[in-house]
């Protein structure tokens, strides 16, 4: 269907006011939970076809997330929808002053392929919870999940208020020519700039959930096995195709080999000696992405740096967990987001050198610090900038509903999760209520000497 017609339909629905009442919002959120629970197997199968993702990972990292977020929204909405009162002043006396969380109108959600269910449905939950209508554009690259969402959503959600528009770049470009009241985009930084430029034509506010290279600094610690488990728990989830995955490691030379040995042992532990045979290790999304990663591993310089892994299988889009030491800084592996199961380990002199290294590069989405020392953790918290920072683990910080999730600088703008999701899809409208029965004339001309003396 013509995107102009879709958007017009969503705008007409919004104007009827049907999406505003709490009851409608609750109904949609419940329907979302029902849709996910009733189709859990089909969703796992679709994500598996797209990414070879283990079904258990889809359930814990995507589907449970969607249901929990929708459930928390239903519980909290009555409180969040209530106007917040604030103090007035002499000029407006007597008055009541309140902040109303107003729906924005027609929201566009553009989703990526790496968590194709979660990153399509979680922003939608926010848009519906805040009383908006939504157009979802899933990623064409995760084609099975995109097709399934476009089949399921109209069966469960209000078809007048929620539409799914499938397609790739030309279709998304046509969608972006329309005027929206909000655009929520998750994906790469380069496309983020295209989205923002298109939104600017209509002065549409955007949230850009982008990616980039998230560093991990490993200090001298007592227990490298726990560091390795937590590092790879985040890095190898979804075969490294996670926006918050640690992209590379900074470590002192004296500790590098201890860390690398621990990382190797953990790969064996996780995948019982063979990641390629393990049902718990995902595949690369597409032949194109697989080739990109293989090309990076196979440069003569990078080949020499591989200390573990490097195996691949083109037919199954498999790439083994691979560690490299001292990768040349001008190599693509250190210049671009890796987004695969490849982990460069770079040597730094100390934490100050690591800090300089991080500060010289675009602000990351996440920063990880492994240390037993409080002052080392505090140093990074206070002297670097990133969307989030997690001390002694990776990726898990995104599961904390009370923490905002979003980037800064090149890793994005705006945030969501928990209450921030509701706020992201709402306008904070200032409402000042006065009465006509009382009027102090001191502020009106003529500004007589008597008035000026008060």
Give the phi and the psi of residue 230 in degrees, each rounded to 5: -70, -35
CB of 139 to ligand NAD, least distance (A): 4
Q: Which residues ranging from 323 to 352 are in contact with ligand NAD (CB under 6 A)? A: 337, 339
Is residue 388 within 8 A of residue 366, CB to CB? The reply is: yes
Which residues on neighbouring strands pair with residue 136, listed in sequence order? 109, 164
Q: State CA 294 to chain mean position distance.
A: 26
- Between CA 319 and CA 244 the distance in angstroms is 19
Whose Cβ is closer to ligand NAD: residue 28's or residue 139's?
139
Is residue 120 within 8 A of residue 109, CB to CB? The reply is: yes
- Give the H or E element holding residue 93: none
Q: Is 135 in the site for ligand NAD (CB under 6 A)?
A: no
209 is catalytic: yes
Is residue 29 within 8 A of residue 151, CB to CB? The reply is: no
- Between CA 384 and CA 51 the distance in angstroms is 34
- Give the H or E element holding residue 135: strand 133-137
Which member of 67, 107, 243, 390 is catalytic? 243
Judged by CB under 6 A, the stretch of 32-40, 203-211, 216-224, 435-443 that binds ligand NAD is 203-211
Residue in 61, 125, 266, 365 binding ligand NAD, rule: CB under 6 A: 365
140 is catalytic: no
CB of 209 to ligand NAD, least distance (A): 3
Q: Tell me the site size for ligand NAD, rule CB under 6 A.
A: 28
Whose Cβ is closer to ligand NAD: residue 173's or residue 291's?
173
CB of 296 to ligand NAD, least distance (A): 15
Judged by CB under 6 A, the stretch of 94-102, 105-113, 158-166, 327-335 that binds ligand NAD is 105-113
Is residue 444 within 8 A of residue 437, CB to CB? The reply is: no
CB of 188 to ligand NAD, least distance (A): 3
Among 178, 171, 142, which residue's Cα sits nearest to residue 1?
171
Residue in 13, 139, 145, 346 binding ligand NAD, rule: CB under 6 A: 139
Q: Is 186 in the site for ligand NAD (CB under 6 A)?
A: yes
Which member of 122, 209, 337, 423 is catalytic? 209
Is residue 188 within 8 A of residue 289, CB to CB? The reply is: no
DSSP code, position 364: P
Whose Cβ is closer to ligand NAD: residue 112's or residue 344's?
112
- Between CA 112 and CA 164 the distance in angstroms is 14
Is residue 438 within 8 A of residue 94, CB to CB? The reply is: yes
Residue in 65, 103, 131, 211 binding ligand NAD, rule: CB under 6 A: 211
Q: State CA 276 to chain mean position distance.
A: 28
Is residue 263 within 8 A of residue 228, CB to CB? The reply is: yes
The crossing angle, in degrees rounded to 10, of helices 22-38 and 143-156 is 130
Sign of dihedral through CA atoms 275, 305, 411, 137?
A: negative
Residue in 6, 99, 147, 191 binding ligand NAD, rule: CB under 6 A: 191
Q: Which residues ranging from 30 to 89 are in contact with ligand NAD (CB under 6 A)? A: none
Q: Which residues ranging from 235 to 254 are in contact with ligand NAD (CB under 6 A)? A: 243
CB of 129 to ligand NAD, least distance (A): 18
Whose Cβ is closer to ligand NAD: residue 199's or residue 348's?
199
Whose Cβ is closer to ligand NAD: residue 185's or residue 270's?
185
Q: Is 412 in the site for ligand NAD (CB under 6 A)?
A: yes
- Between CA 373 and CA 379 the distance in angstroms is 10
Structure tokens at 374: 């409080």
Judged by CB under 6 A, the stretch of 5-13, 136-144, 301-309, 322-330 that binds ligand NAD is 136-144
Residue in 13, 28, 58, 114 binding ligand NAD, rule: CB under 6 A: 114
Residue in 58, 172, 178, 296 binding ligand NAD, rule: CB under 6 A: 172
* DSSP characters over 344-359: EEEEESSHHHHHHHHH
Judged by CB under 6 A, the stretch of 38-46, 91-99, 188-196, 215-223 that binds ligand NAD is 188-196
Q: Is 188 in the site for ligand NAD (CB under 6 A)?
A: yes
- Between CA 100 and CA 84 the distance in angstroms is 7
Q: Which residues contribute to the site for ligand NAD (CB under 6 A)?
A: 110-114, 119, 137, 139-141, 168-169, 172-173, 186-188, 191, 194, 209-211, 243, 337, 339, 365, 407, 412
Task: Give the active site residues.
Answer: 209, 243
């Amino acid at each position: 269907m013509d995107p102009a017609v879709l958007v017009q339909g969503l705008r007409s629905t919004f104007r009827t006011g049907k999406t505003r009442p709490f009851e409608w919002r609750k109904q949609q959120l419940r329907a979302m939970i029902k849709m996910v629970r009733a189709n859990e197997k089909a969703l796992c199968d679709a994500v598996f076809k797209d990414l070879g993702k283990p079904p258990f990972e889809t359930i814990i990292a995507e589907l449970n997330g969607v249901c929990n977020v929708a459930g928390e929204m239903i519980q909290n909405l009555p409180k969040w929808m209530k106007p917040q009162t604030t103090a007035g002043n002499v000029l407006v006396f007597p008055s009541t002053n309140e902040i109303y969380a107003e729906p924005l109108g027609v929201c566009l959600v553009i989703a990526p392929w790496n968590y194709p269910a979660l990153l399509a449905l979680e922003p939608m939950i926010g848009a519906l919870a805040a009383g908006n209508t939504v157009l979802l554009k899933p990623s064409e690259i995760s084609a099975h999940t995109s097709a399934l969402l476009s089949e399921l959503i109209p069966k469960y959600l209000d078809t007048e208020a929620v539409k799914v528009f499938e397609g790739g770049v030309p279709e998304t470009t046509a969608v972006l020519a329309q005027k929206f009241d909000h655009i929520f985009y998750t994906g790469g930084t380069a496309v983020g700039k295209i989205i923002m430029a298109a939104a600017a034509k209509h002065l549409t506010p955007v949230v850009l959930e982008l990616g980039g290279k998230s560093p991990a600094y490993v200090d001298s610690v007592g227990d490298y096995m726990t560091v390795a488990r937590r590092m790879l728990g985040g890095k190898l989830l979804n075969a490294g195709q996670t926006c918050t995955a640690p992209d590379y490691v900074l470590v002192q030379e004296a500790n590098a080999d201890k860390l690398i040995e621990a990382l190797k042992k953990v790969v064996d532990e996780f995948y019982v000696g063979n990641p390629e045979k393990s049902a718990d290790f995902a595949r690369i999304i597409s032949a194109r992405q697989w080739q990109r990663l293989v090309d990076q591993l196979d440069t003569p310089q990078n080949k020499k740096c591989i200390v573990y892994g490097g195996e691949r299988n083109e037919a199954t889009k498999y790439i083994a967990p691979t560690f490299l030491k001292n990768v040349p800084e001008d190599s693509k592996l250190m210049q671009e987001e890796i987004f695969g199961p490849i982990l460069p380990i770079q040597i730094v002199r100390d934490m100050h050198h690591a800090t300089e290294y991080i500060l010289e590069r675009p602000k990351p989405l996440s920063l990880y610090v492994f240390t037993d020392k409080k002052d080392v953790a505090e140093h990074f918290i206070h002297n670097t900038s990133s969307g989030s920072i997690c001390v002694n683990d990776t990726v898990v910080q995104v599961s904390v509903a009370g923490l905002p999730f979003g980037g800064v600088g090149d890793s994005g703008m705006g945030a969501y999760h928990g209450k921030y999701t509701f706020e992201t899809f709402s306008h904070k409208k200032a409402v000042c209520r006065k009465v006509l029965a009382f009027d102090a004339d001191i502020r009106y001309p003529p500004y007589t000497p008597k008035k000026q003396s008060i």
